Amino acid sequence: MPSLEPSAAPAAEPRTAPAEPETVLAALTRPGFAFGRWPWRSLAYLLGTVPVVLAAGVPLGVLALPCAALAAGGSGPARAGAALLAVALALACGPLLAAPVAMVERWRLPLVDVRPVPRRPPAQSPGHWLRSRYSDSAAWRDSADLALLVTVVPVLYAAVAVVLLLIGVLLAAPALVAGSDQPVSLGIGTAATIGQAVPYALVGLIAAPAVPWLVGLLAGGHGALTRALLAAGPDERLRAELVEVSRSRARLAAAFEAERRRIERDLHDGAQQRLVSLTLQLGLARLDLPPDSPAALSVANAHRQAKELMAELRALIHDIRPQVLTDRGLACAVEELADRAGVPVTVDAVLPARPPAHLEATAWFVVAEALTNVARHSGATRATVRLRRRGDALLVEVGDDGRGGADPARGSGLTGLADRVAVADGRMFLSSPMGGPTLLSVELPWTPHEPPSG
């Protein structure tokens, strides 16, 4: 029999609070704007603009003095010369003066726009910064912001200040008239008695609630213009993202190398030592058993498998990071690779000092992979490995006299090698015509301030 009980009402969906506006302009349409924090933040932004304009106007005024003196001559050529001089000074000094002003404007912008401002990549050197002030579009946008800051902004601020002052005068009209024996000008009219001043006070009272919106509109518009001019453009954002990607890739590579070394250390100090102990115990147990017994055969078989496993584990540890690379450096590790290679290899290593650890690891990996490819695919009878420091780069060259024709598109070996080199911000070049010879050249950045390994 079907139940006659009323079905439960569906649960009401939880209401999410509206997101907090991120800009003054977005907050203007929200109810309760006048009683929130945005009008006060807008007022602080407007008041902070005044000293910025004054500080920027002082050097510009000093630069304008020669132009004013030249224009004071009164003749047409003098005025034309003054205009040309003003343009030349603006183009020469504007980008330099705009830099500190832009920095202060970016610092003040969160008062009216809390969204993160895309940062521009830092200059690599003072010379690079100076060149960029005249060659980068961002510098000229800084100059445009400075020009608006000392021309259009004062006019708009003055207009809004006049409106606010007028509202204040209207509100205070009765008090102003009461304290004067003469008719008082109230901006939009005059009043001689308190009765005549009351209508003006009512107008001011009606207009007063609009003050927060007026302040917010001016501050929000100024902030939006500042953000449009001073925030990084698409190309600058792309460059900044590429810089961050490069740094992230370097951090991942460093973390990966540290993890490799940890695994190598754990295998060497943990699993390998326990396997050596197990091999010794099996050997001793084998000696205690009768040679022809089934138990002796089983122990002998386990002893043999343990020794094979230990050899494989040693090879695995060596491939992760050979101990000779850590203890004696890249040249000795490459010599060891040459001794184990499938073809005769000549090593020519002349390094003034040990490279940093990550460069040694990358260079060793390049040589190991290259010699493996030579032995497997080239048909070469001999190979050479050359290590040099050339300027601020570690040069690694691996050549062979094989059949040539190496192509990254035919397999992932060369592609993976190029990726490994790219992680270290290096470059890889390959010359392998059909019929040979083949030369693989890798350049890895070796900056002077990097500490050597070992």
Q: What is the pLDDT of residue 80?
A: 62
Buried b (16+ CB within 10 A) or exposed e, 192-220: eeeebbeebbebbeebeeebbebbbbbbb
Domain positions in the chain: 24-230, 251-319, 324-445
Specify whether the CB–CB gap between 321 and 260 falls below 8 A. yes
**Proportion of the chain above pLDDT 90, given as a percent:** 8
Read off the pLDDT of residues 36-51 as tens digits, 9 standing for 90 and up. 888 999 999 999 999 9
Q: What is the pLDDT of residue 45?
A: 92
Q: What is the pLDDT of residue 43?
A: 92
Read off the pLDDT of residues 85-110 as tens digits, 9 standing for 90 and up. 565 666 666 677 778 888 888 888 88
Q: Is 139 exposed, middle or buried (0-12, 13-18, 19+ CB in 10 A)?
A: buried
Confidence of residue 217 (pLDDT cuts 50, 70, 90): very high
The mean pLDDT of 381-388, rounded to a whole number, is: 90
* Low-confidence winner among 29-33, 228-232, 356-360 (lowest mean pLDDT): 228-232
Q: What is the pLDDT of residue 187?
A: 78
**Angle at Cα 331 formed by Cα 329 and Cα 332, nearest 5°?**
70
Q: What is the pLDDT of residue 295?
A: 74
| Better pLDDT: 115 or 232 | 115
Q: What is the 3-state secondary structure (H, E, C) of the chain?
A: CCCCCCCCCCCCCCCCCCCCCCEHHHHCCCCCHHHCCHHHHHHHHHHHHHHHHHHHHHHHHHHHHHHHHHHCCCCHHHHHHHHHHHHHHHHHHHHHHHHHHHHHHHHHHHHCECCCCCCCCCCCCHHHHHHHHHHCHHHHHHHHHHHHHHCHHHHHHHHHHHHHHHHHHHHCHHHHHHCCCCCEECCCCEECCHHHHHHHHHHHHHHHHHHHHHHHHHHHHHHHHHHHHHCCCHHHHHHHHHHHHHHHHHHHHHHHHHHHHHHHHHHHHHHHHHHHHHHHHHHHHHHHCCCCCHHHHHHHHHHHHHHHHHHHHHHHHHHHCCHHHHHHCHHHHHHHHHHHCCCCEEEEEECCCCCCHHHHHHHHHHHHHHHHHHHHHHCCCCEEEEEEEECCEEEEEEEECCCCCCCHHHCHHHHHHHHHHHHCCCEEEEECCCCCCEEEEEEEECCCCCCCCC
Q: What is the pLDDT of residue 330?
A: 86
Ramachandran sector of residue 435 (left: φ over 0; alpha: ψ -120 to 50; beta: rest): left
The answer to whether residue 161 scores a pLDDT higher than 80 is yes
pLDDT, mean over the chain? 76
Q: What is the pLDDT of residue 11?
A: 44
The mean pLDDT of 143-159, rounded to a whole number, is: 88
The answer to whether residue 15 scores a pLDDT higher than 60 is no
Can you say how many angstroms the Cα of residue 232 is from the centroid of all Cα atoms in its chain?
A: 12
Q: What is the pLDDT of residue 148?
A: 87
The answer to whether residue 226 scores a pLDDT higher than 90 is no
Q: What is the pLDDT of residue 218?
A: 92
Q: Which CATH superfamily is domain 324-445 in?
A: Histidine kinase-like ATPase, C-terminal domain (3.30.565.10)
Q: What is the pLDDT of residue 285?
A: 75
d(CA 156, CA 162): 10
Q: What is the pLDDT of residue 10?
A: 44
Q: What is the pLDDT of residue 13?
A: 46
The mean pLDDT of 379-408, rounded to a whole number, is: 86
Confidence of residue 251 (pLDDT cuts 50, 70, 90): low
* Low-confidence winner among 125-139, 216-230, 312-326, 407-421 (lowest mean pLDDT): 312-326
The mean pLDDT of 141-167, rounded to a whole number, is: 88
The answer to whether residue 20 scores a pLDDT higher than 60 is yes
The answer to whether residue 126 scores a pLDDT higher than 80 is no
d(CA 323, CA 268): 10
Q: What is the pLDDT of residue 159?
A: 92
The mean pLDDT of 188-192, rounded to a whole number, is: 81
* Low-confidence winner among 108-117, 204-213, 236-245 (lowest mean pLDDT): 236-245
The answer to whether residue 142 scores a pLDDT higher than 80 is yes
The mean pLDDT of 349-369, rounded to a whole number, is: 85
The single residue listed with the structure tokens 């890895």 is: 444
